[in-house]
Amino acid sequence: MTALWQRQPVGIVGMGLIGGSLGLDLIALGAEVRALVHREATASRARERGLATTVSTDPAVLAGCGLVLLALPLDQLLDPPPSLLAALPPEAVITDVGSVKGPVLTAWRRSLDGSAGRFVASHPMAGTARAGVEAGQAGLFSGRPWVATPGQDTEPAALEAVRQLAEALGARWLVCEAADHDRAVALISHLPVLVSAALLQTADQASAQAAVGLPQLVRALASSGFADTTRVGGGNPELGLWMARWNRQALLEGLRDYRRVLEQLEQLVEEQDWPELQRNLADCQRLRPEFL
């Protein structure tokens, strides 16, 4: 039996990095893709790039879609415009790509009311530093995790339709509780943003206080290690803000745990407990490959 995305047109709302990349891959697989965007300039560019079969600023473009992918920024996902809700085909399976799942699940259960079972909260974990209609690229999801966090009321057939789509794009399909997803991304994605941002600010502020010429010196000497460690902290401030805002509780828990761990390391340096510090850093060296 063919998958839902093969039997009926697929709707994509938003043609940014994720929406555009979904469109490119689905077109390449032979799907009919109908894209809804906000501005005519985006529609025009998305058409030129071949990101979808049809691109429109009119929500009616979604009529007839069997599956609709909401590739919107988190703030729009959490507060979908009534015109979008009205245009979603009543039988269509709906999924999203938001980086926090608990609040999305709550918002869309409310928005879809009687037919919330066809909403599948999901998170394809792929990205680049790029954004906007120029950012979409083929193969973005290949080998990357695609996490679904169904609720108790999620229809098995809806979940299966999204799984088939994710696997067709080469993603690794994972299912977990929304709360576990949100705790996990707090630790491996949202906490790193603040840890990294704080490092940038410390290098800036501490050098300015320490000695004349030191701000210039730290800037001249910073190399690949500093570049890597500060990359996510120097990224898009809106993404960082949304993560903190919509995953606040899990992030605060992560920050408290982090503070405790860093204080232990500081204490080892303070007390000059070099054997224990070396053991601790050797643990880190062993630990890191488990995550990558």
Which residues ranging from 162 to 221 are in contact with a copy of itself (CB under 8 A)? Answer: 172, 174, 176, 179-181, 183-185, 187-189, 191-207, 210-211, 213-214, 217-221
Q: Please, which of residues 33-92 interact with a copy of itself by CB under 8 A?
A: none
> In the bound complex, what is the minimum distance in angstroms from residue 22's beta carbon to a copy of itself?
18
Residues 89-128: x/- map of binding to a copy of itself (CB under 8 A)?
Answer: ------------------------------------xxx-
When the beta carbons of 86 and 211 are compared against a copy of itself, the nearer one is 211
d(CA 243, CA 236): 11
> In the bound complex, what is the minimum distance in angstroms from residue 85's beta carbon to a copy of itself?
26
d(CA 225, CA 204): 16
When the beta carbons of 28 and 282 are compared against a copy of itself, the nearer one is 282
Q: How far is CA 176 from CA 10, 147, 222, in A?
A: 25, 7, 40
Verify binding: residue 271, a copy of itself, rule CB under 8 A.
Answer: no
Task: Specify whether the CB–CB gap between 172 and 144 falls below 8 A.
Answer: yes
When the beta carbons of 41 and 175 are compared against a copy of itself, the nearer one is 175
DSSP type of residue 62: G
Those residues whose C-beta lies under 8 Å from the C-beta of residue 185, and which sit 6 or more positions away, are: 99, 100, 123, 243, 247, 250
Verify binding: residue 143, a copy of itself, rule CB under 8 A.
Answer: no
The pair of structure tokens assigned to 216 is 């210039």
